[in-house]
Structure 1
Amino acid sequence: MMISSDSDDNAPYVPLAQRLKQRQDNVISASSTVANEKDAEQYSPSNLAGSQLSCQNGFSESERPLSVHQVRTVSRGVSDVPDEMATLPQQWLPPTDTSPAKRKPAKRTAEEIQASREEALRRRQAREAQQRGKEVLRQEQERQRAEKKALAEAAKALRPEECIKHMVVAVDPALLQLEGGGTLLASVQALGCSCAIEKQPLPRSVSWMRRAPCAQPDDGQCVPEAHVVMHMTVDDFITLIHGYIQEERHGRSGTSPTLTSWVQEQQRRHPTKILSLVVIELEKYFRSQKSQSQKRFREAVAGEERGGGQVKKRRRNGGAEVLPEVSRVELEEAVVHLQLHTGVSVHFLSTWKDFSDHITMTTKAVAEAPFKREREKTGFSFHLESEWAGGQRVDKAGKGLLQVWKRQIQQFNRVSPDMASAILAAYPSPQLLRKAYNQCKSDREKISLLSDLLIRRGEGVTSTTRRVGPELSKRLFLLMNCCDPEQSLDSTV
């Protein structure tokens, strides 16, 4: 506190402590006066609406903040009072705004801006890489699902009940112009497969194609099969066989093609095809040959009876070329020669109905061939029958071990259930048979240990007996005592 310079020199001296106390009393009286005026105005009719509004705004009468004028008046009254002497209540002080949202942000440097940009770019690249990884994973999963679906459909298409639906039988138009063309076409359509009339590389032939599992019937996605069945007329077949006879027996090579040379030429032209030949109504040729032979014989006899005159030969069928004479033995010889040198088989059929049935049977065989090849891939070098493939069930008590030992003996070639039962009656387990081998003094005795066991067949007066024999006894000895897994059971000891 400062003492005014214009104070009267003659005024009595007032101590500083007393003046401060008087000043404090004046401030307190002023504040009480303001409070009384405030209370008086509070209950006035003009301020009732204002008080209700202040209560609605969330302040009670005791907590309502002071006006700016009141705050300034009070602050001027206590501005000269020390802090330890004049402290006001907190609600009288002006509010101070220190929220972080209204603070003025500090100015960033260029390095911080560049670092924030690099961080944002890195995050965006990480998000894009994550999205690309998810997309690649989704595409890979879709591809795997598509591959599994395609494999499942391909496996389903190979089943016997489904494979015939995916077959396409290609028939040469020249074959349909023959006598049994309509019967062939009806048989193929009744089978349930598709039929395509197309010109084939081999005349009068039938080939097969397999449609892809996912392809539609109208699509052209077909894989050709190797099998081809060709119809050969009797005239062509007899002519080729006659050429073979002339070449083999008379040494006239090169004069006319033989059956073997003609087939070899077709195989050179179509190396990927498996050819088979069909000849229809060949018996008519042999019947005609027989009747002609009998007729010639009768004419010869009649000529001798007439005095040995020469009989004029007449040509039948309006001067048509007469087929050469070929016997059944010569025909079979030519067919065997063909199979040995080319591997092509020849089927002799009686009627066109048999030819249609042959094409139907071949269609089923070609359709089921992939399924049968997959089924035969068992991983074993020997054939397992269905009754052995299932095995023998053995429970925890050991029931079924006797049948396992019996089946193991029956795996030998030419071993019947009666022979296995005879060995089983003498030695019910492999351990008992091994003990019997150990008690033998020499290998010869071990080999012939089971030779004299009796095998009984049937019952009553019709029953018969015989011995196991040395062959099976030797094979069982090798099975039980040999340590070499590659040892042949039929080898000599």
Structure 2
Amino acid sequence: MGSYSDSTSDLDEELPVFDFLSQVSRSHAEKPGPGDAEGAAQLTAVKGSVGKRPADVMMISSDSDDGAPYVPLAQRLKQKRDNVITASSAVANGKYAEPRLMSNLSSFRQVRTASDGSEDSAALPPKPLSCTETSPAKRKPAKRSAEEMQASREEALRRRQAREGQQKDKGALRQEQERQKAERRALAEAAKALRPEECIKRMVVAVDPALLQLEGGGTLLASVQALGCSCTIEKQPLPRSISWMRRTPCAQTEYGVCKPEAHVVMQMTVDDFIALIHSYIQEERQGRSDSGPSLSSWVQEQQRRHPDKILSLVVIDLEKYFRSNKSQSQKRFREAVAGEEQGGGKAKKKRRKNGAAEVLPEVSRVELEEAVVHLQLHTGVSVHFLSTWKDFADHIAMTTKAVAEAPFKRERDETGFSFCLESEWAGGQKSDKAGKGLLQVWKRQIQQLNRVSPDMASAILAAYPSPRLLQKAYDLYKSDREKIALLSDLLIRRGEGVTSTTRRVGPELSKRLFLLMNSRDPEQTLDATV
């Protein structure tokens, strides 16, 4: 009985409370053991057996007399509590949770069986769920069939192809947008290049190197560069010629594409030009064609070789040739009068030895003009006669401006109306909402008629400042003859002061104004008889 008191004194200490132990205590309270001391010893053993395997269970009773050192019950329960906490943390980590829990339950059943000889199933705690039952996300997936795997591969392939197709479509759309943007930029640059202030900057003047070897080559280059256009020196198909190229904007290249123009200006020497005209005279008057090509035949041959070119010729200092011929003819006349024919023959031979200019054939001004007119009628090629190389450089500069502005002028003529002339005397006139400018509008309407000068329009405007006043004046007369003659006697004044003159408007203009204001036939011409 002494041992029982010791154990009861130990039981009075404050012990930790566990859930499954509370169930065991309730079961024991309902079904007590043979004795209170023995039940307390068994309860202590059960509490210490939790968390150990069945082989490690140690039965403690009040009658044990072995020589093991005594350990207080509170300390032993604290050690067992630490083991239980360690086991619960292992359950939380998913490692050896279920085996340890089952071992504890097995130990608990063995203790109950040894103590009272029967296992109380009602006192056992509920069986815990396994990890596979509590966490379905960690369940091992079932094996898929070959058909499902093949369908999954096909679906993945289809999705990848769809993504690649979308990427390709986006890339093609982006390229198309870039192309359209480049085309719009090129069109804007092309429209800008047609402006008169911009077109000259895009011109390239190609000069033949043979021209630079002459005395006016430097003047020509300076005149071209002063325009602001580019200049290139390259051999041309026609000797001593100048051609033009235009840089057009292009989306692929930064500087654009150079397109050649059709106009070509060729400089001819006086010797070659006179020789061609002399051959033409021999062919036309004497029917001889063995003397060489004439001016027209030579130009036609050049046109046949270069059908896409518009040729024009320039001859510099032709007057020097005529002055030389005039002085020679006067000298021969003086020699003939003085009776020095023999000396004149010797002098003639001597002159032919001095230079080639003395042996040029004689061509009169009339013959030259005849050959030039024949050339223009049959080939359409014009010839310009200039005095100095400075004039030639100015002519090239003027031609460069004309070639540069030609597209702008063609577009302007195509978009304009044939009956609305853009000039100072028949152009448009602006007016505001207050009526300012309507008087000039009425004057311009009168000036649009054929053969109506500003003085004639001013005379009509002074008598009838508006179309409504003129219509009221027509309504005062009953017959058409009187209406037609209404404006005939209006005076037109020209000039000022003592030099001023006057004349009448006349019946013709009066009749046209009457038809303009009163005719109901839209197809009737203003010059028709009434």
The interval holding the TM-score normalised by the smaller chain is 0.7 to 0.9
**Structure 1 residues 205 and 434, CA gap change in structure 2 (3 angstroms):** same
Equivalenced residue count is: 450
Return the alpha-carbon distance in structure 1 between the equivalents of residues 405 and 218 of structure 2: 26
**Structure 1 residues 383 and 433, CA gap change in structure 2 (3 angstroms):** closer
Return the alpha-carbon distance in structure 1 between the equivalents of residues 85 and 28 of structure 2: 31
1:318 to 353, 359, 366: 353
**Structure 1 residues 122 and 445, CA gap change in structure 2 (3 angstroms):** farther
Return the alpha-carbon distance in structure 1 between the equivalents of residues 396 and 104 of structure 2: 119
* Structure 1: tracts of 5 or more residues without a match: 1-24, 60-66
Q: Is 2:379 the partner of 1:342?
A: yes
Query: 1:133, CA displacement in angstroms?
Result: 1.0
**Structure 1 residues 185 and 35, CA gap change in structure 2 (3 angstroms):** farther
Return the alpha-carbon distance in structure 2 between the equivalents of residues 27 and 453 of structure 1: 146
CA offset digits 1:399-453 (Å, max 9, x no partner): 5444433332232234344543444455444455445545643443443333334
CA contact (8 A) 2:317 2:387 kept: yes
CA contact (8 A) 1:42 1:48 kept: no
CA offset digits 1:64-118 (Å, max 9, x no partner): xxx77888879x999977xxxx9x9xx9773574555245656656665555444
Return the alpha-carbon distance in structure 1 between the equivalents of residues 281 and 445 of structure 2: 55
Give aligned-pair identity as a percent: 74
1:135 partner letter = G
User: What is residue 254 of structure 1 aligned with on the other side?
Assistant: 289
User: What is residue 492 of structure 1 aligned with on the other side?
Assistant: 529
CA contact (8 A) 2:429 2:444 kept: no
**Structure 1 residues 218 and 156, CA gap change in structure 2 (3 angstroms):** closer
Q: Is 2:166 the partner of 1:130?
A: yes
Query: 1:278, CA displacement in angstroms?
Result: 1.4
User: What is residue 299 of structure 2 aligned with on the other side?
Assistant: 263
**Structure 1 residues 456 and 377, CA gap change in structure 2 (3 angstroms):** same
Return the alpha-carbon distance in structure 1 between the equivalents of residues 242 and 143 of structure 2: 90
User: What is residue 6 of structure 1 aligned with on the other side?
Assistant: none
User: What is residue 234 of structure 1 aligned with on the other side?
Assistant: 270
Structure 1, 263-272 or 103-112: larger mean CA deviation: 103-112
1:345 partner letter = S
CA contact (8 A) 2:250 2:256 kept: no
Structure 1, 339-348 or 460-469: larger mean CA deviation: 460-469
Structure 1, 408-417 or 450-459: larger mean CA deviation: 450-459
Return the alpha-carbon distance in structure 2 between the equivalents of residues 228 and 463 of structure 1: 50
Return the alpha-carbon distance in structure 2 between the equivalents of residues 30 and 399 of structure 1: 125
**Structure 1 residues 343 and 289, CA gap change in structure 2 (3 angstroms):** same
CA contact (8 A) 1:173 1:198 kept: yes
Describe the SS at the equivalent of 1:179. Answer: coil
User: What is residue 6 of structure 2 aligned with on the other side?
Assistant: none
2:421 partner letter = L
- Listed as ranges, the matches of 1:367-378 within 5 Å are 367-378=404-415
Return the alpha-carbon distance in structure 2 between the equivalents of residues 48 and 98 of structure 1: 25
Return the alpha-carbon distance in structure 2 between the equivalents of residues 100 and 407 of structure 1: 97
* Structure 2: tracts of 5 or more residues without a match: 1-25, 33-39, 48-72, 93-100, 113-117
**Structure 1 residues 478 and 44, CA gap change in structure 2 (3 angstroms):** farther
CA contact (8 A) 2:332 2:344 kept: no
Structure 1, 266-275 or 106-115: larger mean CA deviation: 106-115
Describe the SS at the equivalent of 2:338. Answer: helix
User: What is residue 363 of structure 1 aligned with on the other side?
Assistant: 400
Query: 1:49, CA displacement in angstroms?
Result: 7.7
**Structure 1 residues 312 and 406, CA gap change in structure 2 (3 angstroms):** closer
CA contact (8 A) 1:71 1:92 kept: no
User: What is residue 64 of structure 1 aligned with on the other side?
Assistant: none
Return the alpha-carbon distance in structure 2 between the equivalents of residues 71 and 406 of structure 1: 123
User: What is residue 13 of structure 1 aligned with on the other side?
Assistant: none
Return the alpha-carbon distance in structure 2 between the equivalents of residues 444 and 195 of structure 1: 68
Q: If you compute each CA radius of gyration, which structure gives the higher value, 1 or 2?
A: 2
Question: What is the alpha-carbon root mean square deviation over aligned residues?
Answer: 4.7
Return the alpha-carbon distance in structure 2 between the equivalents of residues 50 and 427 of structure 1: 127
CA offset digits 1:374-410 (Å, max 9, x no partner): 3444242346326676641332x55544443333223
Return the alpha-carbon distance in structure 1 between the equivalents of residues 454 and 493 of structure 2: 11
User: What is residue 487 of structure 2 aligned with on the other side?
Assistant: 450
1:295 to 303, 326, 331: 331
